[in-house]
Copies of this chain bind each other. A is one copy, B any other.
Amino acid sequence: MTDATDATSGTALVDFAKLVARLEQFATERDWAQFHSPKNLVMALTGEVGELNEIFQWMPEEASKQAGRNPQTAQAVQDELADVLLYLVRLSSVLGVDLDAAVRQKLKANALRYPADQVRGSSQKHSRPESGESGKD
């Protein structure tokens, strides 16, 4: 019930307007909008996610839980998370997608797709906790 409330009511969960405007201004001031096609931005986003992987690649799962606070990795973790968000918001912006509405729709779909009493405690019943199936093809 609670999962679907905001999606049906249309209340915003996250307001990206200020950040969208900031990134638009940043690109315009540098005449970089010409490079910011969705195809290019997907690749740029991928590059940042690659760097996030590099931070965690040799880290044991338990240690990864401290990576945001560990002085050796905290700054790099923050930087890469920020980079991923910046490209994601810029990508959504140039695509004309309302990221907040997309997220509320997805949360509603996930609540229906993964009923709590059927998937509880299983990583098999869900392959992606907030989205869909894996192992496809």
A residues lining the B interface (CB < 8 Å): 2-3, 6, 13-16, 18-19, 22-23, 25-27, 29-32, 34-40, 42-62, 64-65, 67-69, 73, 76-79, 81-88, 90-92, 94-97, 99, 101-103, 105-107, 110-111, 114, 116, 119-121, 123, 126-137
Contact = CB atoms under 8 A, between A and B. Distances in A.
How many subunits of this chain does the assembly comprise?
A: 4
A82 to B, nearest CB: 4
Contact of A134 (B47, B82, B130): B47
B40 A58 contact: yes
A83 B129 contact: no
A107 to B, nearest CB: 7
B26 A123 contact: no
B86 A103 contact: yes
